[in-house]
């Protein structure tokens, strides 16, 4: 289920400009609470340092591919 949630975050960030702005500019915690994420995945996403949506999504992909987080 977590990979589906991560894909939903990536998709929403690409199609919803308000969501994109929020996750890149200080409101990520509030927006991520809309998704059912395990604490370790939530924390990993909170730690993403992407400066733009492309960097953010590449790092989301790394989290989704990490066997230790899933």
* pLDDT (tens digit per residue) in 7-44: 999 999 999 999 999 999 999 999 999 999 999 999 99
Q: What is the pTM of this model?
A: 0.91
DSSP code for 52: S
- The answer for residues whose C-beta is within 8 angstroms of residue 10's C-beta and 6 or more apart is 57, 60, 61
Question: Where does residue 53 rank: exposed (0-12), middle (13-18), buried (19+ CB within 10 A)?
Answer: middle
With bands split at pLDDT 50, 70 and 90, how would you rate the model's confidence at 68? confident
Confidence band, pLDDT 50/70/90 cuts, at residue 70: low
The pLDDT tens digits of the residues spanning 41-55 come to: 999 999 999 889 999
CA distances in angstroms from 14 to 17, 20, 26, 27, 47, listed in the order given: 7, 7, 17, 16, 19
Please report, for the chain, the start and end positions of each structural domain, with discontinuous segments joined by +: 2-65
Question: What's the CA gap between 61 and 56, in Å, rounded?
Answer: 9
């Amino acid at each position: 289920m977590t990979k589906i949630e991560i894909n939903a975050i990536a998709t929403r960030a690409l199609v919803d400009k308000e969501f994109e702005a929020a996750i890149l500019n200080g409101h990520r915690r509030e927006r991520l609470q809309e998704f059912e994420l395990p604490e370790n995945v939530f924390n990993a996403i909170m730690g993403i340092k992407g400066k733009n949506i492309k960097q953010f999504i590449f790092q989301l992909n790394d989290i989704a591919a990490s066997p230790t987080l899933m």
